[in-house]
Amino acid sequence: MSKHTIVLIPGDGIGPEVTKATKRVLDAAGLSVEWVELPAGAAALEQGYDNVLPERTVAAIRAHKVALKGPVTTPVGKGFKSVNVQLRQKLELYAAVRPVRSLNGVKTRYDGVDMVIVRENTEGLYTGIENVIAKGVVTTMKVATEVACTRIAKYAFAYARSRHRRKVTVFHKANIMKLTDGLFLDCARRVHAQEFPDVVYDELIIDAGCMKLVQDPTKLDVLLMENLYGDLVSDLCAGLVGGLGVVPGSNIGEDCAVFEAVHGSAPDIAGKGVANPLALIMSAVMMLNYIGEATIAERIKGAYNAILSDGRAETLTRDLGGTAGTTQFTDALIAKLK
């Protein structure tokens, strides 16, 4: 097995706890890897960098092509621009791919949920172009380009086809944002008609889409949407399958990819040793498949599925109704590796 070089960004809040747990699992499962650990966010400033997203961190991801990332806190209403948004824009990680699946042993309202959110990751309202127009009047600019809308639509349809999925549904608000969401929709329709007529295509105005999601998520499959909608709907969908502790994610570009959980830095539980590392471990499984280590990926999947199916309180974290801390859960997972 060849040795991989992977950039590791521990992040902050629960980030260092869940990245440490994930590294332990990858090591125990036999991944041959050299970690290049570099900071982002407040951690970068603490380590003496003059920037929350040091060029060294970005350059390392460009060079090594793959990163595993813990969450990074973004100040609310003031302070620096989101490191996550900057990273996705700088590296053109244009597709956020977030599988949302029911897990055996995790009790939720629905069984058989199996969706994948494909979120446009580089534009929309996340361009961060905000202006004070007059005293008491501010604006945010939503940007949609034909290039980016077409690129993400192609990604979603190609993903659906290659994985034998039933259908791609676009969530939009083109009844109100006729130009921006209208362009998103036009691009999706054109890509479907010209290149993917074999994939079933559907559209939902996002408000109705959210209602359908909570009524019966098993009716939905691949969900394609612009940046903000993808952000919001990801957490909504996480709530359908057991919460943010069990939903992984990846940010995919042409040249490189950054794997991270959907959840944030969870300041309310940071430093307490109770965070569920499973979402990042599942993101690492996606990373293993991406770098061609499917056997190790299956080994880890088998181990966490066994723990969830056992359903023993002492080996489940609190968000899943158990009593285990991050370390106990990780120890139990490693013990189950075959």
Give the active site residues. 126, 173, 207, 231
Close Cβ partners of 202 (under 8 Å, ≥ 6 residues apart) = 167, 168, 169, 170
Close Cβ partners of 266 (under 8 Å, ≥ 6 residues apart) = 13, 14, 71, 275
* 73 near ligand NAI, rule: CB under 6 A: yes
Q: Specify whether the CB–CB gap between 221 and 167 falls below 8 A.
A: yes
Of positions 118, 187, 244, 296, contacts ligand NAI by CB under 6 A: 244
Closest CA to 38 of 95, 83, 77, 89: 83
Burial of 195 per CB tally in 10 Å (0-12, 13-18, 19+): middle
Nearer to ligand NAI, 69 or 173 (CB): 69
Nearer to ligand NAI, 13 or 209 (CB): 13
Find the shortest distance in angstroms from Cβ 137 to ligand NAI. 26
* 74 near ligand NAI, rule: CB under 6 A: yes
CB atoms within 10 A of CB 216: 12
State the number of binding residues for ligand NAI (CB under 6 A): 21
Nearer to ligand NAI, 209 or 322 (CB): 322
Residue type, 14: I
* 53 near ligand NAI, rule: CB under 6 A: no
Find the shortest distance in angstroms from Cβ 275 to ligand NAI. 4
Find the shortest distance in angstroms from Cβ 40 to ligand NAI. 9
Close Cβ partners of 289 (under 8 Å, ≥ 6 residues apart) = 297
* 72 near ligand NAI, rule: CB under 6 A: yes
Residues 261-300 that bind ligand NAI (CB under 6 A): 263-269, 275-276, 279
Closest CA to 217 of 320, 306, 99: 99
Q: Which residues bind ligand NAI (CB under 6 A)?
A: 14, 18, 71-74, 84, 244-245, 260, 263-269, 275-276, 279, 319
